[in-house]
Structure 1
Amino acid sequence: MSDTAQHTTMATSVGPLSVRTIGSGPPAVLWHSLFVDDHSWDRVIPALSRHRRLVVICGPGHGTSGDPGRRYDLTACGEAALTVLTELGVREPVDWVGNAWGGHIGVVLAGNGAPQLRSLVNLGGPTQAYTGSGRRKTQLLTAVHRVAGPVGFLRSAVVDTLLSHRTRTTDPEAVSYVDGCLERSGAPLRNAIHSISLDRVDVRPLLGSIRVPTLFVTGAEHVGWTREQARADAALVPGGRCVVVPDAAYLIPLEAPDATVKLVTGFWDELAAA
């Protein structure tokens, strides 16, 4: 296994995307949540890379990836991920592991029958369209960001949503990481918020069409995808399963890395034994 990550930037339909590859073995894709970048996986990469060749994609408008300069959607993000796999020479189906945004993309790919997927782990990716008070709050914060930039109270509001109470009070490294991602944000992040959050469509009609082994995982404090919602969604997927992680909200790989590794590798082991 290679312990050294290989970095590259690839042209895609949603702009130039930063990609890291590390490890060896069957391929797996990691795609992160909105508001943070691919380094939100760093706490789980060492363990997961002992089992898979990881393709870690940084989404448009985040980290060192570019922005297409126009709106895009989850389907376009999925197409971009498949472009990355083609450019890397990945020919076999991949195990898709997505956090929030990445989970949305995985559901769309799997629900549309993409042959490039072997399995799906959706960590905290709601399936319903974004509506109600949460959407109105995000619209307001996005408008503030446009006028004033990533000011302190805005960053705090996002941190309070993305991270559980325990993480916020006992994990200053995680809090600092999320705050830093927000502090460096600009127009590309706002484009991403509109494209894949505010304009997100309901993907629940796709759940019954998923034919790959699927695991849904939500945080106990995830207000956008409660345990009841996640369990109901998993029940719509043939053979789908759901697990709730305590003391986590949206960013499960960052907040609960040990639980994430145990769940993902256990799921992979079951695939190998099937």
Structure 2
Amino acid sequence: MFVDGHTWDRLLPLLLADAPGREYIVIDPPGLGLSEPLQRRTTIAEAAGAARDALEVLGVGEPVDWIGNAFGGHVGYELATDASVVRSFVAISAPVEPLPAELRRKIALLHPLLRLAGPVRPVENAIVAAMLTSDSAKDTGILRVVMESLARPTRASLSFALRSFIIDRSDVTDRLARICAPSLFVASDDRGDWSPADARRAADQAPNARSVTIAGARTLIPLEQPAALARAIVDFWRAGAGEPSQR
């Protein structure tokens, strides 16, 4: 959320090296990155529909190994119940429950400011604090990716995205039992609303899932700890979740 496909820039070379023979497709979320601006309030379910459309337009004729970080994981929960779309599923830092009430109130206070003024300093500070550990925020390369991502969308598009995909985030716990694809739920050691215990609990409710914890990260694990995450994903694939020829 708030960021785009550049958050995968540090991870992709590692996956290309450790899992050759795959084709990787990076999709910017609706309203963010180079995707068209949002013009109205929408839902994660509609975003999943857009993902289906994207795969069709790109000519992907087989189930994919879907990897989603945060918002991308929420989209994956919508897609992964359909075996014709998702072959295996990696959900990174993607809580299955709605936003906690206290956090929802804090974000709701910032929402009007974001809508009227864009990502000004108080909004930037809140977003960085939610996404990065203090150590990661001191890394100029990591911080640059977040700040440049924030600068790309329009104020209106950011506002609609915040309302649609964060504040209105729904509970998808009941979907877990229907995700039969091999699944890996990745938690960090520093995100309060998606703790290692939360990831284990979610994995216990899916028929073919397990969880793993990556240390030294908050929300943007692919950007903060790419090497550890790459090892976890490749190990998951090599354990039988996906064949090298698959997208």
Q: TM-score normalised to the size of structure 1?
A: 0.83
Q: Bigger relative contact order, structure 1 or 2, given CA contacts below 8 A and separation 6+?
A: 2
User: How is 1:1-274 mapped onto 2 (pairs within 5 angstroms)?
Assistant: 34-49=1-16, 50-111=20-81, 113-169=82-138, 171-185=139-153, 186-271=155-240, 272=242
The answer as to whether partners of 2:63 and 2:83 remain within 8 angstroms in 1 is: no
RMSD, aligned α-carbons? 1.5
Is the strand fraction higher in 1 or 2?
1
Cα drift, residue 74 of structure 1: 1.5
The verdict on how the C-alpha distance between 1:69 and 1:231 changes in structure 2, with shifts beyond 3 A counting, is same
Is the helix fraction higher in 1 or 2?
2
The verdict on how the C-alpha distance between 1:51 and 1:44 changes in structure 2, with shifts beyond 3 A counting, is farther
The answer as to whether partners of 2:74 and 2:94 remain within 8 angstroms in 1 is: yes
Cα drift, residue 231 of structure 1: 1.1
Distance 1:149 1:116 in 2: 36
Q: TM-score normalised to the size of structure 2?
A: 0.91
Percent sequence identity over matched residues? 38
Give the aligned residue type for 2:8: W
Deviations 1:57-103 (A, max 9, x none): 01111111112412221111111111111111111110000000000
The verdict on how the C-alpha distance between 1:237 and 1:261 changes in structure 2, with shifts beyond 3 A counting, is same
* Aligned length in residues: 238
Distance 1:248 1:122 in 2: 15
Give the aligned residue type for 1:197: I
SS in 2 for 1:120: strand
The verdict on how the C-alpha distance between 1:124 and 1:51 changes in structure 2, with shifts beyond 3 A counting, is farther
Runs of 4+ in 1 over 4 A off after TM superposition: none
Q: Which consecutive residues of structure 2, in runs of 5 or more, have no partner in the other structure?
A: none
